[in-house]
Amino acid sequence: MIHEQAIIEPGAVIGKNVTIGPWSYIGKDVVIGDNCEIHSHVVIKGPTRLGAGNRIFQFASIGEDCQDLKYAGEPTELVIGDNNVFRESCTIHRGTIQDNSLTQIGSNNLFMAYTHVAHDCVVGNNCIMANNASIAGHVHVGDYAILGGMSGVHQFCHIGAHSFVAANALVLKDVPPYVMASGHGAAPFGLNVEGLKRRGFEKSDILAIRRAYKEVYRKGLTVEEALLEVDKLAEATAAVKDFADFIRNSGRGIIR
């Protein structure tokens, strides 16, 4: 299952039923879980830990030193969950000591060709980054978020769960859960209702989220004023509470 022309450094740990193609390089501080599929011409450096069932296509660079000029070779880490797909020429970098020394990716994500995940990012589960989407350092991406092709996210921004960032968008502030964002810089363009339906949200929950969205974005209220009304809706709907908590805890402020 490991091609004779693959380079596996002493110290690398390879799980069961792992395929590694020719001319791929696996560094000494790399742990690869069971049932992973590494195509040809892949570079994985570490410290990096991959879970089970990940697929990495040709020319991807996983676990390389970050591009932050402050990085001076300190030991930092990349941790990846299970069943992710990294398509051609993805670049995923390890963390820095200025944060938690860790870049972390969950499970069941799709990273299309030429996507970039910078140092200290945290990506949840079931996310999609379309071709050439890039997230800068310290960005957090919630579960089921979708980033369209050629989109970019400024460092330290948070992308909420179930949100949708359109192609070519430039995100300069936080995108709350469920919100669709588009433009340069990105502005809100309604709710990702179709995505919520596909993921089994109840009609009553979607209606409550719509009402919360209107309080924040359609009534001309300040964020503080809107949250007073959203908190009332959150008492009956957990999904709205997630929306309110995200806005309240936003460090960069939300798109408006």
Catalytic residue among 21, 29, 53, 120: 120
Q: Is 119 a catalytic residue?
A: yes
Rounded to the nearest 10°, the torsion over CA 56, 61, 67, 73 is 110
| Strand order through the sheet with 158-159 | 13-14, 30-32, 48-50, 77-80, 102-105, 122-123, 140-141, 158-159
Residues 134, 152 contacting (CB under 8 angstroms): yes
Extract the tokens encoding 42: 């892949």
Q: Between helices 223-234 and 238-248, what is the axis angle to 10°?
A: 150
Catalytic residue among 93, 119, 138, 162: 119
Q: Is 137 a catalytic residue?
A: yes
Q: How far is CA 235 from CA 208, 239, 244, in A?
A: 11, 10, 11
CB neighbours (10 Å) of residue 85? 17
Catalytic residue among 137, 142, 148, 152: 137
Residues 51, 32 contacting (CB under 8 angstroms): no
Residues 53, 83 contacting (CB under 8 angstroms): yes
41: left (phi over 0), alpha (psi -120 to 50) or beta: left
Q: Please, is 75 exposed, middle or buried when counting C-beta atoms within 10 Å of its C-beta (0-12, 13-18, 19+)?
A: exposed
Residues known to be catalytic: 119-120, 137
